[in-house]
Structures are given as structure tokens and as C-alpha cells.
Amino acid sequence: MKTKLSTAQHSFNALLIGLLAASPVMAANFDTLGQQTDGFSSLQQAAPPTESGVSHPPSVLESFQQAEQDNKRSNYLAILNLVKKNKLDEAQTKLTGILKNFPNESEYYNLQALLHTLKKDLPAAQQSYEKAIKLNSKNILGHLGLAKFALDEGQIDKAKEYANRALEINDKSVSVYLVLADIAFKQKDNAEIEKVLLTAKEKVQGNLTSEIEVIKNLGKLYNGQKQPEKILSLMEDLDKRYPNDTTVLNLLAQAQVINKQNPAAEQSLKKIVDLDKKDITNRLFLAKLLMEQADKEKEVMTLLDEAAALNNDNPEALVIKTAYLIKLKRSADALALAAKIDQQFPKLIFGKLLKGDVYLADKQVDKAIEYYQQVYKAQPNDRILFILTDLLASQKKEAEAMKLLESALSKDKKSLAINFKLASIYQQKNDNKRAEEYYQAMLAVQPENVLALNNLAFLYAQKNDPRALEMAKKAAEKAPEAAAILDTYGYILVKQNQAKEGLDVLVKAASLAPQANDIQFHLAEAYVANDDAKKAIEILEALGKVAQEFAEKKAAADLLVKLKAQ
């Protein structure tokens, strides 16, 4: 039976290829931190010393064994290179022949498992891993592969068992800890994920590459938990132990930016630029940070010019410089540089795109449309399509805009983005019937699309269609922290005589977006429906003092007058 590959399995495949490549000599000892285990390397050890402590020259037998070992390693690498080039059939043919000659080499079965996995024959891949560890109980990749398969099948205990066996073989392997972290992630146990990764950090301390790999994964965890300060603490510690390492400094700068410590990030990046005169990436990173400061124009230009000079074959620095010139309202300079990019890189769209940006910034909309049309013709994409259609609409060319959208949709009926764009336009034009068609088209492709569910629920509610509540509830379940989604659900609950439930939902929505005036108005209506005019009046009086316009401002004022008159 063939099983669909999970995202985690795809990630593991990439990891596996890297690990196999990193240690062509022995798969069981697949990273630089590994302790020597059984495998190809067992034939490569130096001849043992005699009783006198002096080693003899290798014998004829030993020389033959060494030649055989070199041949095995060469075959191993050849197969792996074919896999990297996605020549899977050729790799399989070669591996099948090799396995006939070396049926007891555990490491070849790791390659066989990888090939089966890439061909989505997971049962066969599992059998290959089982064969690998049967031939060599210390084949760490075999244990990890089986752990991942067990995890994908929801067999948590079995996955832990295989992962822990791998840990016994090598407790300094980052990959083992990442699999253990995956298991904890499957159990939604963030505390265990952190514990596993912190243990890994201790075990690999002293190996910078491995430390960085662990810290990057801790960073993902802390970022998801909105604990950026922990990421910064990790990077500051690493920087102390590895001063002047440019990779560490780059990661430190990223952590500093996440923690809104831009001046410190600038210093970290300046240090990299001083240390590495040929570094492009961090020059661009630093330039982008400095662009936010009005008095740093000269420094930004210097960095961008240096980056451009370091790589004449890449337009990135020139593109960023043109965008910066547009921001500075130096339109003539920006247009000249955009023309230079267009001339230097005629096959790329950047020059024309930037020309469109320059003209748009100068409010020369017709000229901007002209260049965006050239870009879209050369390289159709949704971003340019939507810019074009918005500009055409602003020029009272709605028919042309709609024709462009419909043409794009005819080439990709399942495009969620284009369907949503069309639905939104028709909704704004109060053509709800057409809007519903496009939202329904989105749900036909993606039944749980939150935006389509929410907006369709709103349209149904306007015509008292009972499906409104069901759709709004489903959207809210999918996005329980999205204020706008909760607003729709709560509002529909109130309108369908479930005032108490609606109030609870709207209270949460208002707490998530306290500045959203429409949500505040709906909350006031919910209090009215719950016979709490006092709280409703408090909200409505506050809305009356708001200077900015919002869709239901007049309705809010009318309701306030009505409540005070009672």
C-alpha cells in the first residue's frame, strides 16, 4: 500500500540526503559529532600495533580490504549523487546491482530506503530500514527512519523507542534530538520540545555547526511562543563563546531585530562588514536597517554600491537602491537606475517593474500601468495582476480590470487568490450573487478556507440564509484568534437570537482588536440585545468621539440617540 508523504517526511528526506552525503564512509556515524560505530569504517582502521608498540606495514590482505572498501565508498557516493540529481531510476538500477554483490552492507539499505521513500513506496522503505538495523544494530539512520515512519502513522511509543535506540548509539547527534523534538511536537508538548533541544544544545556544545542547528530550532519554538527574548539570550551566549564568527553575528543581529534592538543589530552587522570585505548579504541587511533613519542616506548608498560591485551578475543591490531612491522621492535618479537594470538584465522583469513603481510614486498612473502591463505579459503573477486591476479601476477602467481578472482565472480556475479578488470586487459593488459564486468556487477548492467561509457567511446573513451561522462558526473554529472572523460569528449569533453566545464572542473579538470601531459597534449592539443599555451607551459615546470615519459610524450615532431617549 502506498501512503501519502507528510511534510515532516519530506523534511526528513532532505535531512537524510544531507546526512548520507556527510558521511559516505559509514551511515551509522553520520555526523561529525558521532562516535565510531560498526560499518564501512571498521575495515579502515590502522593495523594494530605489535607488542613492541610499532605498527607493521599493511599486509596483502589488508591492502585488498582497503581497495574493496574504497570501491564500496565510491559506489555509495555515486548512488547518492544520482539521487541528488533526481535520477531515481538510474540510482535504483545501480543500487540493485551493488546489493547483489554486497547483500550484507547495512549502509546500502539506508540508500534503498531513501529511494523507496522518494518514490512514495513507504512500506518498502520501512522494510529497507528494518533490514539495515538487522544487519547492523548500530545503524543510526535506520532507527531514525523507522522512528519517523512510526511518528507519521501516529505510533508515538514506537517512534520514541526507535529514537531512544538512536540516542543510545550516539547522544551527540543533532538529528536524533530533532526527531525527538518532532515526537514532542506531535504530542503538542512544548515543554518537552524545549527540554529535548536544550539537552541537545548541552551535548553538542563545542561544535559550532551543530550548536547553530539546535539554536535555530529553539528559535522557531520561542518565536511561536512569542518569547523573542529567549532567542536573544541564546545568541548572546553563543556570541560570547564564538566572538567574531560572522555566522553567529548574523544570527545575533536577526535576534536583536526581532527584539526591537535595531541599534545593537546595526553594530553586529557593522562588525561583520568590517571582518568580511566580500560579504554581500550582511551589507544588504545593514543597508535595509539604516534606511529607516533619515540621516543615514550616505551610509546606505555606500553599502549598496559595495554590494553591487561585489556581484555584477546579481541585480539585488541595484533593485534595493532603486526602491530606496523612490522612497527618498529622487524619481529621476530612480528612473535612471531602473533603466540601467533593464539594460544590464534584459531577461529579468526588475527594471520594468521599478519603472512602474517610480511612475506610480509620482502619480503618473497611466505610465505606471504601461510598465506593469509589460511586466505582467513577460511574467504573469498575482501581485502584478492585482496592482494592475486596482490601478485600472482607479482610472475608471473597471471593465478592462475585470476582463484581465477573468482571463487570468480562465487559465487557473482553482486560483484562490483570483477568485477572492473577484469576489471582493463584486461584494464592494453590492453584486452579492456574483460574489457568492466566487467564494463558493474557493470553497470547492479548499473547503475550510477561512476568508471564503467568513465572507460567504456575512453575505448569507444579509439575506437571512440559515447557512450563515454554520459557516461563520466553522470559520471561527479555524481562526479562534482572528478578531474580524470572530466579529462576523458573534454578530450573526446576535442576529439569530443567540444574544448571550454572541456577546461572549464579540467581547473576545473586541479585546483582540480594541481599535476596530466596527467591532466595538457590534459589541454595543450585543449589549443592547442582552438588555445592558448602560454598557452599550459607554461604547457608543466613545465611538462618537472617534475622529476617523468607519462604515457604521452613522448607525452607531443613531443607536446612541435611540438608547438615550428611552
Q: What are the tens digits of pLDDT across the range 142-158?
A: 999 999 999 989 999 99
Q: Which of 247, 299, 301, 305 is nearest to 271 (CA)?
A: 247
Largest CA distance in the chain: 110
Note the pLDDT of residue 54. Answer: 38
Rounded Cα distance between 523 and 208, Å, is 54
What does the block give as the cell for 424?
Answer: 471582493
> Who's near 504: CB < 8 A, 6+ residues apart?
490
What does the block give as the cell for 400?
Answer: 478592462
How much is the average pLDDT of 64-71?
A: 62
For the stretch 317-360, pLDDT in tens is 999 999 999 999 999 999 999 999 999 999 999 999 999 999 99
Question: Cα dist. 181→33, 138, 164, 218 in Å?
Answer: 19, 21, 12, 10
Note the pLDDT of residue 73. Answer: 80
Dihedrals phi, psi of 276, to nearest 5 degrees: -125, 100
Note the pLDDT of residue 490. Answer: 97
Rounded Cα distance between 332 and 341, Å, is 14
Four-residue CA torsion sign, 29, 35, 37, 42 = positive
By 3-state DSSP, what share of the chain in percent is helix, strand and coil, each rounded to 5?
Answer: 75, 0, 25
Average pLDDT in the chain: 88
Rounded Cα distance between 346 and 258, Å, is 37
Note the pLDDT of residue 4. Answer: 43
Per-residue 3-state assignment (H helix, E strand, C coil) for 482-522: CHHHHHHHHHHHHHCCCHHHHHHHHHHHHHHCCCCHHHHHH
Burial classification of residue 34, based on how many CB atoms lie within 10 Å of its CB (0-12 exposed, 13-18 middle, 19 or more buried) = buried
Q: Does pLDDT of 189 surpass 50?
A: yes
Question: Cα dist. 253→225, 269, 344 in Å?
Answer: 20, 7, 33
The residue assigned the cell 514532542 is: 184
What does the block give as the cell for 165?
Answer: 535506540
Measure the CA angle with vertex 126, ends 122 and 132; round to 5°: 145
Rounded Cα distance between 171 and 179, Å, is 13
Confidence of residue 107 (pLDDT cuts 50, 70, 90): confident
The residue assigned the cell 552525503 is: 21
Note the pLDDT of residue 209. Answer: 93
Note the pLDDT of residue 2. Answer: 38
Rg of the chain over Cα atoms, rounded to whole angstroms, equals 31
Rounded Cα distance between 115 and 378, Å, is 38
Length of the chain: 566
For the stretch 197-206, pLDDT in tens is 999 999 999 9
Of residues 29 and 209, which shows the higher confidence score? 209
Coil, strand or helix: which one is 460?
A: helix
Domains in the chain with CATH codes? 1-38+69-188 (1.25.40.10), 480-566 (1.25.40.10)
Q: Return the H-helix or E-strand segment holding 155.
A: none
Q: Does pLDDT of 11 surpass 80?
A: no
Note the pLDDT of residue 63. Answer: 56
Note the pLDDT of residue 61. Answer: 52
Q: What is the pTM of this model?
A: 0.75
Confidence of residue 40 (pLDDT cuts 50, 70, 90): very low
How much is the average pLDDT of 536-547?
A: 91
How much is the average pLDDT of 225-247?
A: 95
Note the pLDDT of residue 314. Answer: 94
- What percent of the chain stands above pLDDT 70? 88
Q: Which of the residue ranges 60-69, 127-136, 159-168, 493-502 would you say has the lowest mean pLDDT?
A: 60-69
Note the pLDDT of residue 67. Answer: 61
Q: Which of 354, 407, 399, 398 is nearest to 380 (CA)?
A: 407
List b or e across 277-304, with b for residues whose CB sees 16 or more CB atoms inside 10 angstroms: eebbebbbbbbbbbbeeeebeebbbebb
Confidence of residue 78 (pLDDT cuts 50, 70, 90): confident
Note the pLDDT of residue 83. Answer: 84
